[in-house]
Structure 1
Amino acid sequence: MKTIVVIYCHPYKKSFNHAVLEKVLQSLIAQSLNPKVLDLYAEQFDPVYDLEELRLFHTGQTHDPLVTEYLQALKDAAGVIFITPIWWNSLPGMLKGFIDKVMKEGEGLSHTVSKTGIKGELTNLKRAYVLTTSTSPTFYLRLFCGNAIQKIFIHKTLKQLGVHSGKWLNFGGITNSSLKRRQRYLQSVTKMSFRF
Structure 2
Amino acid sequence: MTHALVLYAHPCEESYASALHRATVDTLKGRGWTVDDCDLYAEGFDPILTAEERRGYHEVGPNRGPVEDYVKRIEAADALVLCFPVWNFGYPAILKGFFDRVFLPGVSFRLEDGQVRPNLTHIKKLAAVTTYGGTRVRAFMAGDPPRKMVERHLWHVTRPTTVKYLALYDMNRVTQAGLTANLDRVRKELETL
TM superposition score normalised by structure 2: 0.91
Equivalent residue number for residue 147 of structure 2? 150
Deviates more, 1:158-167 or 1:39-48: 158-167
C-alpha distance after superposition, 1:15-66 (max 9, x if no partner): 10000011111111121111111111111111111111112212232453xx
- Alpha-carbon distance, 1:156 to partner: 2.9
Q: Matched residue pairs, number? A: 190
Say whether residues 1:8 and 2:8 are aligned partners.
Answer: yes
Q: In the TM superposition, what are the counterparts of 1:42-53 in structure 2 within 5 Å? A: 42-53=42-53
Say whether residues 1:161 and 2:164 are aligned partners.
Answer: no
SS class of match (1:38): strand
- Contact 1:127-1:195 within 8 A present in 2 as well: no
SS class of match (1:175): coil
Equivalent residue number for residue 90 of structure 1? 90
Give me the CA root mean square deviation: 1.7
The whole-number CA distance in structure 2 between the counterparts of 1:74 and 1:194 is 22
User: Structure 1 unaligned runs (5+)?
Assistant: none
Equivalent residue number for residue 117 of structure 2? 119
The whole-number CA distance in structure 2 between the counterparts of 1:59 and 1:195 is 39
- Contact 2:3-2:76 within 8 A present in 1 as well: yes
Equivalent residue number for residue 126 of structure 2? 128
SS class of match (2:189): coil
- Contact 1:27-1:192 within 8 A present in 2 as well: no
Equivalent residue number for residue 104 of structure 2? 104
Say whether residues 1:176 and 2:173 are aligned partners.
Answer: yes
Say whether residues 1:188 and 2:185 are aligned partners.
Answer: yes
- Contact 1:57-1:104 within 8 A present in 2 as well: yes
The whole-number CA distance in structure 1 between the counterparts of 2:115 and 2:14 is 42
User: Structure 2 unaligned runs (5+)?
Assistant: none
Which segments of structure 1 move beyond 4 Å, counting only runs of 4 or more? none
C-alpha distance after superposition, 1:44-97 (max 9, x if no partner): 111111111112212232453xx2112111111111100001011111221111
